[in-house]
Amino acid sequence: MITLFGGVMIFFACLYMGLKLRHGLYRRNKSLKEIISSLEALEGEIGFGQNKLKKALVAADKNGMFTFAADNIEDYGVYKAIKKAVDKYRLKLCLREADTEPICNLALTLGKGDGNEELKNITYAKKLLRGQQRDAEENCRRLGKLYGVGGALIGALIVLLLI
Amino acid sequence: MYITSTRKNINHGDIIRYMPRKLRSFFYSADLSDAREIRLRLGMPVCIYFGDGQYYISKNNNLTRIPTSAVRVTREDIEEAMELAAASSVYSVKNEIKNGFITLRGGHRAGITGSAVVKMGEIDFIKEISAINYRIAGEVIGAADGVIGDITGGGLKNTLIISPPAAGKTTMLRDIARQLSYMGVRVSIVDERREIAAMYEGRSPFDLGFNTDVLQGADKAEGMQMVLRSMAPQVIITDEIGTDADIRAIQKVTNSGAAVIASIHGQNLKMINRRADLRDMLSYFNLVITLSNRLGAGTVEEIIRL
C-alpha cells in the first residue's frame, strides 16, 4: 500500500514538474506579448497623449509591472523604478535575463528625450522583445508538449523502476 | 464682500521635493521661509537668494555666506533635478523647456540654461543643462488692496501695470484676479508663460477666487480672443504684453465690452510714452499703475487715470 502510495506521489510530482515547466514556457510567451502590447500603448500615451510618464506607465500596464514601476518613479527615478519592477516581476512573469534587458535599456533613456526620441527608443525595445517573443513561441511549440508528456512519462518510468 | 490679509502663502516643502536627493537633507534643516530663489549651477555651490542677499549651504547643513565651504552641485545633481522637474517626462514639457523654464507643482518655476538646439532658426530644445534656477512662488493675499478701489471704482477700468522685473507685477495681477473674482466679476486669465495661475494638472496652487477661468500656455493675443468668445469674461487679465499682436487683441477685447488688466515691463509711464508703438496702446487703457522695488517688491509708485 505504501509502495503504491509512494509511486503515485512520484508520478504526480514528475507530472507536476513537467506541467510547471510547460506553464513557464507559455507564461513567458504571454508575458512578452503583454509587455510588447504595453510598449505599444506607451507609445500612444507619450506620442499622442503627451501624458506624464507615471500616468502613461499606469495606463499602458497589462500585467502590473509598469504600475509597480510608476509607483516608485518619484522615489527612485525612472531607471531604478523600472529595474526594481523588473526584478520583482521577472520570476512571476517567467521572463529570462535576456527578456528583461531591452526593458532595462529602455529605462535608461525613458523620459529623458523629446517625443520622437522616446518613440524611437520604444520601437527599438519592441523590436528586441519581438525577437525574444518569437523565441518563446518557438520554445512553446517545440517543448510545450514534450514537457507535459515528458513529466508524466518520466514519472511512470521511475515508478516502474522502483516497483 | 471680500476679505483680505497680508498673509504670505508659500509652501517650501513643494520646492524641496524638486531638489536632488543628495542635496535634500541640507534643505530640510535650512530655514527657507524668506527664500526667493535657489540656484544650482554645475560645479558651483548651491546658492539660495533671500531678501537680504545670497547664502550657500555648508556641509554642516547651515546657511553660510562663504562659498568655499559650501556644498557643490555635480552633473548627477543637475540631471536628477531635471528629471524631477520634468516629472521624468521631458517630452511633455518640451515646449516649456524651449521657453527656458518648467512650471512646477506649487506655482514655482525652474528656469533652465544650457546649450540651445536650434532648428529652422528657432530654439527647439535645451540640452547639456548647466544651471537650474528655482523661482519660489509667493502668493501675497492683499497685494492689490491699494489699487483695487481704483480699478473697480465707477466700473471696471482697463488697467496697465508698469513694473520693472521682480517688482511684484505678477503677484499683483494674481491678487487683482482673486479680489475681482470674489466680488462676482467673471475673470479670465490668459497665462501664456504660466506665471499668474501656474496651473499644474488643471489646478492652480493660488487662490484665484470662484469666478476665474485660466487659459495657460496659449499665445496671449490669440488666447485673449479665445476666452472672449468662449468664456464671456467681464475682465481679461494677462501678463507682459508688448507685441503688435497683443495690442491688436487688446483693442478687440476693449471694443467688445470686456475690460483688460495687463502688465508690461518698464519703469514708468514716461518710458512707455517714449515708444511710439506702446504710446498708441495706452489709448486703450483708463488706468496706469506703476510698481517698483523701492520699499520692497510691490511698492505702488503711481496710480494715474488716463
DSSP assignment letter at B42: B
CA of A84 vs chain B CAs: smallest distance (Å): 16
Cβ contact B101:B126 at 8 Å? no
Residue B172 has a pLDDT of 92
Main-chain phi, psi angles of B204, to 5 degrees: -95, 140
**How do the pLDDT tens digits run along chain B, 306 residues long?**
233 334 454 556 678 889 988 888 888 777 777 788 899 999 999 999 887 788 998 888 788 888 888 889 999 999 999 999 998 898 888 888 888 888 888 778 899 999 888 888 888 888 888 999 998 877 888 889 989 999 998 889 999 999 988 788 888 999 999 999 999 999 999 998 888 888 877 888 889 999 999 998 888 999 999 999 999 999 999 988 888 899 999 999 999 889 999 999 888 888 888 888 788 888 889 899 999 888 877 888 989 888
- Given CB atoms, is B14 within the 8 Å cutoff of chain A? no
Distance CA A110, CA A8 (A): 52
Distance CA B73, CA B42 (A): 5
Beta bridge mates, B189? B214, B237
B158: helix, coil or strand?
coil
Which residues in chain A land under pLDDT 50?
A: none
Residue B126 has a pLDDT of 84
Provide the whole-model pTM. Answer: 0.75
Across the interface, of B87, B90, B94, the residue whose CB is closest to A54 is: B87
Set of cell numbers at residue B72: 557643490
Residue B4 has a pLDDT of 37
H or E stretch including A98? helix A97-109
Residue A140 has a pLDDT of 87
pLDDT digits (tens, 9 = 90+) for B67-80: 888 889 999 999 99
CA of B88 vs chain A CAs: smallest distance (Å): 5
Distance CA A151, CA A145 (A): 10
Classify the complex by whether its ipTM is higher than 0.85, answering yes or no: no
B184: helix, coil or strand?
coil
- Given CB atoms, is B86 within the 8 Å cutoff of chain A? yes
Strands B212-216 and B187-191: parallel
Beta bridge mates, B123? B118
Distance CA A49, CA B67 (A): 44
Which of A33, A24, A6 is closest to A147 using CA atoms? A24
Residue B121 has a pLDDT of 84
- Given CB atoms, is B68 within the 8 Å cutoff of chain A? no
Residue B51 has a pLDDT of 74
A contact set with B (CB within 8 A) = 46, 50-54, 56, 73, 77-78, 110-115, 117-118
Beta-carbon separation of B83 and A50 below 8 A: no
Across the interface, of B80, B83, B94, the residue whose CB is closest to A114 is: B94
CB atoms within 10 A of CB B31: 9
H or E stretch including B125? strand B122-135
Q: Report the sign of the C-alpha dihedral through residues A113, A115, A120, A126, in that order.
A: positive
Set of cell numbers at residue A155: 514519472
